[in-house]
């Protein structure tokens, strides 16, 4: 770490990186440092070890509407908003420590041909689930949740289904 | 951390602290912050609704068994809960905790590979789902100890199609149904992905 920071200072002094780059570099170093020591971040002898969903790439007509929905309704943190057409919406563990994010962006004019498969919805786990509290919180945000105990669905501003669930209602081993 | 780094950099530029002190101070701050974060992460109870983690990704395709086998092979995932039209692939074994999640009521993330008509009206008479005008055009997955060259070689050996680099930290590939799949390590995250 000390070597890394010394190099960063050297780059700043020679003008290779800006003041902003320097400060972001130090912050990033903290994240990478934290992630690097975890035992779970070790690959098995062969093949890959899945840690989780890194990100969900979401293309839509107006990224700001998606940004506002996912940050206000699901409490995601807005990061790297370029103000033009893209933002990262972080949730879960800290970035670099297993956290996930939605990349909400304006759809490209020349989008590739659609696949023969689709991710038709993503379900998010809500910790400390309480039916009444979840439904009330969603309604307070202008949503119309439907579903069952432990699992509700809403639609985002572009009619993409968003499911919210408890560990009991949506668990691969139950 | 960025503000602290900026303050210390100012002090260095104004000659208030030495280069050596700047290095030591920032090194100490970075390592101390990591230790504090490890203890504080996820302690705060969410108020209202706050996404804790992806619970599952619902993936619909023409042949769920073929998709399930592909994701199992590429990501070393077991298959559980085989049904007539779907199979579930959890990101770990029963009893394991999701990576870096301490809350006990957050299950392992999983993929459900399905074959169904997503636009069919629900059997219970409810309104059909509205037509979406946005698209989840790919999912990125985090794997442990990601080394792009090593992982590329492994995927090539498996016969994975359309392998290509993605930015500094990741690889893209195409699954059997043409769906874009990204793979990276922890270095690709909400602060680094632009």
At B41 the pLDDT is: 41
User: Would A87 be classed as within a structural domain?
Assistant: yes
Q: Which is more confidently placed, A112 or B130? A: B130
- Are B186 and A51 a contacting pair at CB < 8 A? yes
Instruction: Supply the mean pLDDT for chain A.
Output: 90
| Percentage of chain A exceeding pLDDT 90 | 69
Phi, psi (degrees; rounded to nearest 5) at A102: -95, 130
Per-residue pLDDT band for A102 (boundaries 50, 70, 90) equals: very high
> Which pLDDT score, from 0 to 100, does residue A41 have?
60
Taking one residue from A and the other from B, the number of pairs with CB-CB distance under 8 angstroms is 362
Task: Give ipTM to 2 decimals.
Answer: 0.80
Q: Do the domains B137-194 and B53-118 match in fold?
A: yes
pLDDT at B39: 38
DSSP string, B39-59: HHTTTSPPPS--EEEEEEEEE
CB atoms within 10 A of CB B4: 16
- SS3 of residue B152 by DSSP: helix
User: Is A55 an interface residue toward B (CB < 8 Å)?
Assistant: yes
Give the residue from A53, A145, A164 with the most B CB atoms within 10 Å of its CB, the best one to mutate: A53
Can you give the pLDDT at residue B46? Answer: 44
- Residue of chain B whose alpha carbon sits nearest to that of A160: B132
Instruction: Using the predicted structure, report yes or no on whether residue B31 has a pLDDT greater than 80.
Output: no
**What pLDDT does A119 receive?**
98
With respect to residue A6, please indicate whether it lies within any of the assigned structural domains.
yes
| Distance (Å) from the alpha carbon of A109 to chain B's nearest alpha carbon | 13
Q: Residue B126's pLDDT is what?
A: 78
Q: Which residue of A has its CA nearest to B183?
A: A54
For the segment B186-194, the average pLDDT, to the nearest whole number, is 94
Q: Residue A53 is nearest to which of B74, B100, B141, comparing CB atoms?
A: B141
pLDDT for residue A32: 61
Flag whether A101 is in a domain. yes
- pTM for the model: 0.79
pLDDT bucket at B38, cuts 50 / 70 / 90? very low
Confidence of residue B34 (pLDDT cuts 50, 70, 90): low
**Of residues A23, A124, A132, A25, the one with CA closest to residue A75:** A124
**What is the structure's pLDDT at A33?**
63
B192 close contact with A: CB closer than 8 A: yes
> Which fold, B53-118?
2,3-Dihydroxybiphenyl 1,2-Dioxygenase; domain 1 (3.10.180)
What pLDDT was estimated at residue B44?
A: 37
Indicate whether A115 belongs to any domain.
no
Structure tokens at B4: 């602290």
Q: Which residue in A73, A94, A116 is closest to B62 by CB distance?
A: A116
pLDDT score of B109: 98
Nearest Cβ partner for B27 among A5, A119, A137: A5
- Beta-sheet pairing, B51-60 with A118-126: antiparallel
Q: What is the pLDDT of residues A60-89, one digit of tens each?
A: 999 999 999 999 999 999 999 999 999 999
Domain containing residue A101:
55-106
How much is the pLDDT for B129?
86
A72: which chain B residues are within 8 Å (Cβ-Cβ)?
none
Contacts of B192 in chain A (CB under 8 A): 28, 95-96
Fold (topology level) of B137-194: 2,3-Dihydroxybiphenyl 1,2-Dioxygenase; domain 1 (3.10.180)
- For residue A151, the model assigns a pLDDT of 97
Contacting residues of A for B93, CB less than 8 Å apart = none
- Write the CB contacts of A156 (distance below 8 Å, at least 6 apart in sequence): A66, A69, A70, A162, B134
Split into its structural domains, chain A has a count of 3
Does a structural domain hold residue A45?
no
A97 domain residue, yes or no = yes
More confident residue, B27 or A136: A136
β-pairing, B135-143 vs B180-184, is parallel
What is residue B67's predicted lDDT score, i.e. its pLDDT?
98
**Predicted confidence (pLDDT) per residue in A15-70, tens digit:** 888 888 888 888 777 766 655 444 456 767 678 999 999 999 999 999 999 999 99
A148 touches chain B (CB under 8 A): no
Query: Which residue ranges make up each domain of chain B?
Result: 2-32, 53-118, 137-194
The enclosing domain of A133 has a CATH number of 3.30.720
Higher pLDDT, B104 or A1: B104
Average pLDDT over residues B183-187: 96
Q: What is the mean pLDDT of residues B133-138?
A: 97
Subunit contact A158:B109, Cβ cutoff 8 A: no
Task: Find residue A52's DSSP bridge partners.
Answer: B142
């Amino acid at each position: 770490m000390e070597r890394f920071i010394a190099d960063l200072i050297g780059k700043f002094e020679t003008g290779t990186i800006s003041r902003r780059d320097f400060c972001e570099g130090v912050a990033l170093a903290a994240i990478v440092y934290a992630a690097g020591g975890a035992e779970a971040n070790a690959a098995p002898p062969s093949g890959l070890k899945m840690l989780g969903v890194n990100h969900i790439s979401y293309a839509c007509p107006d990224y700001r509407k998606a940004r506002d929905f996912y940050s206000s309704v699901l409490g995601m943190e807005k990061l790297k908003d370029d103000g033009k057409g893209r933002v990262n919406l972080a949730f879960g563990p800290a970035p670099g420590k297993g956290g996930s994010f939605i990349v909400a962006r304006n759809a490209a004019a020349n989008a590739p041909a659609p696949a023969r498969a689709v991710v038709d919805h993503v379900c998010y786990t809500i910790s400390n689930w309480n039916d009444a509290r979840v439904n009330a919180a969603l309604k307070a945000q202008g949503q119309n949740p439907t579903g069952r105990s432990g699992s509700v669905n809403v639609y985002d501003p572009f009619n993409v289904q968003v499911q919210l669930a408890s560990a009991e209602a949506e668990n691969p081993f139950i | 951390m960025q503000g602290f780094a900026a303050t210390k950099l100012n002090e260095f530029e104004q000659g208030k602290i030495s280069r050596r002190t700047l290095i030591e101070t920032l090194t100490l701050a970075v390592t101390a912050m990591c230790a504090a974060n490890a203890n504080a992460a996820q302690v705060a109870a969410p108020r209202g609704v706050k996404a804790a983690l992806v619970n599952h990704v619902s993936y619909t395709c023409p042949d769920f068994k073929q998709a399930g086998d592909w994701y199992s092979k590429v990501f070393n995932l077991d298959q559980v809960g085989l049904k007539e039209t779907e199979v579930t692939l959890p990101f770990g074994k029963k009893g394991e905790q999701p990576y870096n999640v301490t809350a006990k009521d957050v299950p392992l993330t999983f993929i459900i590979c399905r074959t169904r008509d997503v636009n069919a009206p629900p059997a219970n008479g409810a309104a059909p789902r509205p037509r979406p005008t946005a698209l989840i055009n790919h999912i990125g997955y985090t794997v442990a100890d990601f080394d792009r060259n090593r992982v590329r070689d492994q995927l090539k050996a498996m016969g994975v199609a359309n392998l290509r680099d993605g930015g500094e930290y990741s690889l893209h590939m195409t699954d059997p149904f043409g769906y874009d799949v990204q793979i990276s390590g922890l270095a690709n995250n909400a602060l680094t992905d632009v």
